[in-house]
Chain A
Amino acid sequence: AQKITQTQPGMFVQEKEAVTLDCTYDTSDPSYGLFWYKQPSSGEMIFLIYQGSYDQQNATEGRYSLNFQKARKSANLVISASQLGDSAMYFCAMREGPSGSARQLTFGSGTQLTVLP
């Protein structure tokens, strides 16, 4: 079974509107971390946001928030007030087990977001 599933290969959003990118995960480990990374057309990988499995509140970083629904095993990324510069590929990723010395990530296949003017 896929550990990280991103079911939206492509998404479009109008500039200044909010958009939700879906991510579901599969793990039996009670300790894990969930990440979102952005990859613009230039190719670099940019860290956006992190949510730990024991975190009580949803993570937020500026215009990015992570809608963490533990029972549903979902970790959707919400981008508020979309900007043209948000057009990029977005990857959801998971680290399984206690963070300790583990930094190995499993990535989803990504969602290509296009922001329309």
Chain B
Amino acid sequence: NAGVTQTPKFQVLKTGQSMTLQCAQDMNHEYMSWYRQDPGMGLRLIHYSVGAGITDQGEVPNGYNVSRSTTEDFPLRLLSAAPSQTSVYFCASTELGGTEKLFFGSGTQLSVL
């Protein structure tokens, strides 16, 4: 089982560049989400989705876009990267109506110079 797959694992960007962090899950989970983890602050929710075509904002959505065209994929787009977006990004998924256990990807370490 692949579970939740995130790519890339590491990325360095220059300020102003754009990029997409990929997230895919093979567990047919309806719910998918993106978190960022900064030192001393735990994880903070960026965006989430409860199904294809449905997305919503979390605690820290500014500077990020998402879309959910399929059940499997939930990409996170940085439109114009800023140094404040240097962080570790985690994608997580789970089923709705059953266990609340979140399945996390292995994370993407992003540095914006």
Given A43-B107, A50-B101, A101 and B31 contact (CB-CB distance below 8 Å):
yes
Contacts of B101 in A (CB 8 A): 47, 50
In the complex, the answer to whether A43 meets B88 with C-beta atoms within 8 Å is yes
**30 A-B Cβ contacts within 8 A?**
A35-B100, A35-B102, A43-B88, A43-B106, A44-B104, A44-B107, A45-B102, A46-B104, A47-B101, A47-B102, A47-B103, A50-B100, A50-B101, A91-B43, A93-B43, A95-B100, A100-B96, A100-B97, A101-B30, A103-B31, A103-B96, A103-B100, A104-B33, A104-B45, A106-B45, A107-B35, A107-B42, A107-B43, A107-B44, A110-B42
Chain B residues with a Cβ under 8 A of chain A: 30-31, 33, 35, 40-45, 48, 50, 58-59, 88, 90, 92, 94, 96-97, 100-104, 106-107
Q: Which of A50, A91, A99, A105 has the most CB of B within 10 A?
A: A105
**A side interface size, CB within 8 A:** 24
Closest 8 CB pairs of A and B: A107-B42, A45-B104, A107-B43, A47-B101, A103-B31, A109-B42, A101-B50, A101-B96
CB of A111, distance to nearest CB on chain B (Å): 11
Q: Which of A44, A103, A108 has the most CB of B within 10 A?
A: A103
Contacts of A99 in B (CB 8 A): 100
Chain A residues with a Cβ under 8 A of chain B: 4, 33, 35, 37, 43-47, 50, 91, 93, 95, 99-101, 103-110
Minimal Cβ-Cβ distance residue in A for B96: A101
CB of B93, distance to nearest CB on chain A (Å): 9
Please report the C-alpha to C-alpha distance between residue A43 and residue B40 in the assembled complex, in whole angstroms. 15
CB of B11, distance to nearest CB on chain A (Å): 15
In the complex, the answer to whether B42 meets A103 with C-beta atoms within 8 Å is no
